[in-house]
A and B are shown apart, each in its own frame.
Chain A
Amino acid sequence: MKLLGMMLPLLVSLSLLSGCGEKEKFIVYGSPENEKEVEAILKEQDFVDKTTVIQYDNSMLVAVQIKQWDKWKKAKLEKKLQKKFDEKYPNKDVFVSADYKIFYEANKIKKEQVEDNKLKDKIKKLKKLAKEET
């Protein structure tokens, strides 16, 4: 019982932590003409928790974070979203990833306001990274 008592405060503090940071869940960075459209596609997927989209020329990096209870199906949902974007933007080179690392790097690109000429290389590098297997 003492052990349960030890766990309770831990759980409470963790649930408090997860409650904050609700704003700016859907971010689109780069060429602004289709911002709303991309946001709309992502918003209608109920498994998507947070996203950051980086755009440059024809490349588009869609970094999403999946809701905790949908993470079991991460690979499947990634593919589903990729298909959706490929259909919507057949002329664009879209890459969807649900990996935390890709999401983290995408946010960093946005935060540091990376210059346009460097964006392309960055996106390429992240794509390669995401495709690596163990």
Chain B
Amino acid sequence: MEKEQYKQLEQNVTPNPPYFKNVAKAFLVGGLICTIGQAVSLFYMTFFDFTEATVGNPTVATMIFFAMILTGFGLYKKIGQFAGAGSAVPVTGFGNAVISAAIEHRSEGLVLGVGGNLFKLAGSVVLFGVVSAFFIALIKFILVTLGVVSW
């Protein structure tokens, strides 16, 4: 069978996902998670010495703490089944990927199990985040040196 034909066949067989419904669900749940994040930010700005510029860090850490609780009780997976990208795209989804891998591999020991598998699912995010940060800073440095842009 030709490759083209196979592709055609595959497309005919695979049911189309309910695009609109999926996107709406992702939008709602994702938006809701970010609204909770905003409440956390407001909490830190009101009661601690954080400004709008610095509040992102404690907010993200707190959201991941929430993710740990939900993951530990097996609830994050249920949210994910409903929300798709809505719960995967916020940092809580990243936290869930790391934390669930850690919990699942606990029985293999702290070093080989937890340590070795912590980034099994989320490693690519760290890899591409750090590497792209490196190259973008490098490109920007070169462009600034050439006088094309300024910092």
Contacts and interface: CB of A to CB of B under 8 A. Distances in A.
Classify A-B as touching or not with yes or no (CB < 8 A). Answer: yes
A101 B24 contact: no
Counting chain B residues whose Cβ lies within 8 A of the other chain, the interface size class is 10 to 19
A132 B56 CA distance: 13
B28 A3 contact: yes
- State the main secondary structure of chain A at its contact with B: helix
A112 to B, nearest CB: 15
A133 B54 contact: yes
B53 interface: yes
Nearest to A98: B52
Nearest to A6: B28
Contacts of B24: 3-4
Interface in A113-134: 129-130, 132-134
Interface residues of A, number: 14
Contacts of A3: 21, 24-25, 28
Contacts of A7: 28
Nearest to B56: A134
Interface in B45-94: 45-46, 49-57
B45 A100 contact: yes
A102 interface: yes
A130 B54 CA distance: 9
Contacts of A4: 24
A134 B25 contact: no
A12 to B, nearest CB: 16
20 contacts: A3-B21, A3-B24, A3-B28, A4-B24, A99-B51, A100-B45, A100-B51, A100-B52, A101-B45, A101-B51, A101-B52, A101-B55, A102-B51, A104-B45, A130-B51, A132-B51, A132-B54, A133-B53, A134-B54, A134-B56
Interface of B: 21, 24-25, 28, 45-46, 49-57
Interface of A: 3-4, 6-7, 99-102, 104, 129-130, 132-134
